[in-house]
Amino acid sequence: MTDRREFRDLASGEELAATIDSLELEAGTERASLENARGRVLAERITAEIDVPGFDRAAMDGYAVKAGDTVDAGEASPVDLETVGTLHAGENPTESIEAGEAIEISTGAVLPPGADAVVVVEATSERDGSVAIRDAVTPGENVMPAGADVAAGRRVLGPKTRLTPREIGLLSAIGCDAVTVRKPPTVGIISTGDELVRPDDTLDSAPGQIHDVNSYTIAAAVEEAGGRSRVYPHVGDDEGSIANTLTQAANECDLVLSSGSTSASTMDVIYRVIEQRGELLLHGTAVKPGKPTIVGQFEDAAYIGLPGYPVSALTIFRVFVAPAIRAAAGLPERRTATVEADMATRARFEEGRRRFLPVALVEDGDGRTLAYPVDKGSGATTTLVDADGVVDVDAQTAYLDPDESVTVELFSADAAIPSLLGAGEGDSHLWDLLDQLDRPRYLAEGSRTGVRLLEDGVTDVAVIAGPIEAPAESVVLDSWEREWGLAVPTGNPDDVTGLDDLIDGDLLVATVDSQWGLAGSFDAAIDELANSRDEAQATLQRSLRTIETRSFESPARRVVAGDADAGVTLAETAADLDVTFVSLGTERVEIVAAADRLEKAGVRTLRDRLASE
């Protein structure tokens, strides 16, 4: 690794923003028809070429009259006028009115020659060939004169105006059926890495393939920021193909974004391609996440290299790149939506870098908004949806204390705080329950995580299974039993009927992390077997050949994949996966709520739902 270069002189967030700001991303203008103009940004001044209305227009249903004829009219002293016709909207007035005459007129119709006002129908009574006018009108009353709405020559909209339905209405009124608008910047997206596979292709885990998360995520984020995204075929780590794809994208786009392959390692080819064949403006930032960010120029396009991890890529995109795309598209700055919250738990920071800490929000029983850090480690994609926003923590801050007040920048301005926050077991009955709630958040990370987060005052409810005990300060809302046992290959080739067979048959058994109730139920059954055999429990455990998995469905999946002879499982999982099931008993599942959250709206809704079942 002699070629490895350290990131020296990491740029500050301000320098990164300024460098991105210096890029030329604007894409010029284009024409848009009125039907397709919504949301676009005007690039020209619009001047009315016609008067609106183009004629003196009846503003009410009623009778067109000479105002002078109505001077003496009143409720008690109606004035009779001879009716000499009827005029609907869209009709050409064929006769004018003389003194003493009136024409019945509809809203929107042309005021006939000779008339100068309209008496509303409610102030009239029709008689045979005449109309009784019960209200005096002044000249111009209930008439919209030609050009009174928009006069020809008026500057009606200026450049930079965003076209909402209201502007589209005004453009319609003046007969403007196409406008010159800002063309959104075209943003090319390139994911690099030999290990990446598109979401619609099947993974091979043996060589460590993973799905390409960044391409579609960043494409969606580009569109959200007002750009046009163009996703290029994913390229491997080969310098030639990276250079070719970069060249094509640079020729077709205003900005090219890549993700991954941007560190100064010899393996990270894109960095070298930009350094050698393009122009490197900035490499490395002191912002966390985001260290290996690159800003540069390649051929005629601007180039930004985002970090490879999805959360890092999206954070850098959102904070630094999206504002530049919005500006180039002519959109106003994104309305920053922030929420003030108190930290639910402590967050520590190891190093002196400005950090965007992903946090999620929850309301406690008193309606106070709490923020808790969400970080399942580098590269976790669940952080994307388990968090609601970030806290911008400066480089000098080494930790945030519980109850410390923080400002959370929400990922979406219209993001709502989850109505209910739970953590614990996975269970099909629970999934059905969650589907019926509005905006629940549930972290299916096992019973022990459920207990811990409830005890820490983070979650509203925990779902706990097997022998794991609920926290002291909790209230059981519901409980049920579920069957557990062993998944074995279809047809049960090893004739497994119980735990004895696992030990005596020297079978490879997939077990599960002690997080899960299932692990507790399995251990308890081993204990029982040890007692019945009069052997030490530890001896029995040692004589089992096991591979431990992370989650409650994983053991059965190992059996399906042919990687284990048997696996600890729930009956429902075995049924879902269509694998043979050997029952070993039942375990209890409990939904418990934090005692001080019982009256919270989301918990009440859950209780009502459970009560109605």
Smallest distance, Å, CB 279 to a copy of itself? 26
Considering beta carbons, is residue 70 or 161 the nearer one to a copy of itself?
Answer: 161
Asked if 283 contacts 304 with a C-beta cutoff of 8 angstroms, the reply is no
Q: 204 with 191: CB under 8 angstroms?
A: no
Nearest distance in Å: CB 528, a copy of itself: 27
Residue 13 CA to residue 290 CA, distance in Å, equals: 10
Nearer to a copy of itself, 158 or 352 (CB): 158
384: DSSP letter: H
Q: Compare residues 184 and 278 and give the one whose CB is closer to a copy of itself.
A: 184
Q: Is 150 or 524 the residue whose CB approaches a copy of itself more closely? A: 150
User: What is the SS3 assignment for 140?
Assistant: coil
105 CB burial (10 A radius; 0-12, 13-18, 19+): buried
Q: Which is nearer to a copy of itself, 91 or 409 (CB)?
A: 91
Q: How far is the CB of 2 from a copy of itself (least distance, A)?
A: 7
Q: How far is the CB of 290 from a copy of itself (least distance, A)?
A: 15
What's the min distance (Å) between Cβ of 306 and a copy of itself? 13
CA dihedral 142, 148, 150, 155 (to 10 degrees): -150
φ, ψ of residue 446 in degrees (nearest 5): 105, 160
**Smallest distance from a copy of itself to CB 83, Å:** 10
Which is closer to a copy of itself, CB of 333 or CB of 534? 333
Nearest partner of 322 among 12, 10, 21, 13, judged by Cα:
21
Least gap, CB of 505 to a copy of itself (angstroms): 25
Q: DSSP code of 150?
A: B
Task: Decide the pairing of beta strands 79-87 and 62-65.
Answer: unpaired
Q: How far is the CB of 594 from a copy of itself (least distance, A)?
A: 22
Q: How far is CA 70 from the centre of its chain?
A: 63
Tokens 């290959």 -> residue: 489
Q: What is the DSSP string of 7-58?
A: --SPBPHHHHHHHHHTS-----EEEEEGGG-TT-BB-S-EE--S-BSSS-EE
User: Six-digit token pair at 480?
Assistant: 């049920």
| Pair 155, 195: CB distance under 8 Å | no
Identity of the residue, 166 or 491, whose beta carbon is nearer to a copy of itself in the bound complex: 166
Nearest residue (CB) to a copy of itself, 426 versus 602: 426
Q: Which residues pair with 258 in a beta bridge?
A: 190, 305
Query: What's the CA gap between 565 and 489, in Å, rounded?
Result: 7
H/E stretch holding 388 reads: none
Residue 7 amino acid letter: F
The three-state secondary structure class of 177 is coil
Gap between the Cα atoms of 474 and 454, Å rounded: 8
> Based on CB atoms, which residue is closest to a copy of itself, 456 or 563?
563
Smallest separation (angstroms) from a copy of itself to the CB of 164: 6
Count other Cβ atoms within 10 Å, centred on residue 256.
Answer: 31
Q: How far is the CB of 15 from a copy of itself (least distance, A)?
A: 23
- Residue 267 CA to residue 197 CA, distance in Å, equals 19
CB of 320 to a copy of itself, least distance (A): 15
Would you say 444 or 526 has its CB closer to a copy of itself? 444
Closest C-alpha to 68, from 147, 123, 136: 136
Q: Which is nearer to a copy of itself, 156 or 343 (CB)?
A: 156
